[in-house]
């Protein structure tokens, strides 16, 4: 596992950042964390999605590119990289939120940026049901997240599942987190780290109630 670039992904509230921090600590890896609160359009977007979708999306696109371009370069002080997002996920939100004309402009820009970034060596996709996500979002109590409609969370769950069902750009671990707690149950974390350590190719599905199943 030394030297690998691992991206942790999933719908808002699923636990990406918590897991990324734990993995980076265990693997002595450089940690890259997205800070959505830094997007000045985000709160306005949740209040009025149609009006602020394009500004919000373009800010995220450029900011994600700049950060990953700078921070995914290997260095002598870390044994790898762990990020709590991947650049390609930006398209999920673009497809959901932008109008046809806005998406056409987005499609002129995003591929130019994407081809300039190194892809992850492994993606860990954390899944959870909409009800579980809403409860986790409520528990962490971020003010701007309270503006999100439950229907929007359900739509995101479907969009993420569709995206990763067709994802083939890197080895992928799909992890059902409905009954997992990486922060407070050590065995859950140890089991997942073992899977991260050994998974090198194709897709593997991981859940607490069954052994991982793999397919290429």
Residues with a catalytic annotation lie at 84
Q: Is 16 annotated as a binding residue?
A: yes
Q: Is 21 annotated as a binding residue?
A: no
Q: Is 38 annotated as a binding residue?
A: no
Q: Is 15 annotated as a binding residue?
A: yes
Q: How far apart are CA 210 and CA 193, in angstroms?
A: 16
Q: Is 12 annotated as a binding residue?
A: yes
Q: Is 129 annotated as a binding residue?
A: no
The per-residue DSSP string of 105-140 comes to HHHHHHHHHHTTSPPPSEEEEEE--HHHHHHHHHHH
Tokens 């997240």 found at: 145
The per-residue DSSP string of 145-208 comes to GGGS-HHHHHHHHHHHHHHHHS--SS-EEEEE-TT--TTT-HHHHHHHHHHHHH--SSEEEEET
Q: Is 83 annotated as a binding residue?
A: no
Q: Is 139 annotated as a binding residue?
A: yes
Q: Is 17 annotated as a binding residue?
A: yes
Yes or no: say if 40 and 59 are a contact pair by the CB < 8 Å rule: yes
Q: Is 141 annotated as a binding residue?
A: no
Residue of 79, 96, 75, 210 lying closest to 159 (CA atoms):
96
Question: What is the maximal distance between C-alpha atoms in the chain?
Answer: 48
Q: Is 137 annotated as a binding residue?
A: yes
Q: Is 80 annotated as a binding residue?
A: no
List residues forming the annotated binding site.
10-18, 136-140
List residues forming the annotated binding site for ATP.
10-18, 136-140
């Amino acid at each position: 596992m030394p030297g690998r670039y691992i991206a942790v992904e999933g719908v808002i509230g699923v636990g990406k950042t918590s897991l990324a921090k734990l993995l980076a600590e265990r693997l002595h890896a450089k940690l890259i964390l997205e800070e959505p609160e830094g997007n000045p359009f985000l709160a306005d977007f949740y209040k009025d999605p149609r009006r602020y979708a394009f500004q919000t999306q373009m800010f995220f696109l450029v900011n994600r590119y700049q950060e990953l371009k700078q921070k995914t370069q290997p260095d002598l002080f870390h044994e790898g990289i762990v990020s709590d997002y991947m650049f390609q996920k930006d398209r999920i939100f673009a497809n959901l939120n932008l109008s046809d004309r806005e998406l056409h402009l987005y499609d002129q820009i995003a591929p130019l940026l994407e081809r300039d970034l190194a892809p992850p060596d492994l993606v860990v996709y954390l899944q959870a049901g909409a009800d579980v996500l809403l409860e986790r979002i409520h528990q962490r109590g971020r003010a701007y997240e309270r503006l999100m409609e439950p229907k929007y969370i359900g739509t995101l769950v479907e969009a993420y599942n569709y995206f990763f069902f067709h994802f083939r750009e890197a080895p992928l671990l799909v992890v059902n987190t409905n009954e997992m707690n990486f922060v407070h149950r050590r065995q859950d974390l140890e089991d997942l780290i073992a899977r991260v350590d050994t998974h090198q190719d194709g897709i593997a599905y991981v859940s607490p109630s069954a052994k991982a199943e793999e397919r290429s």
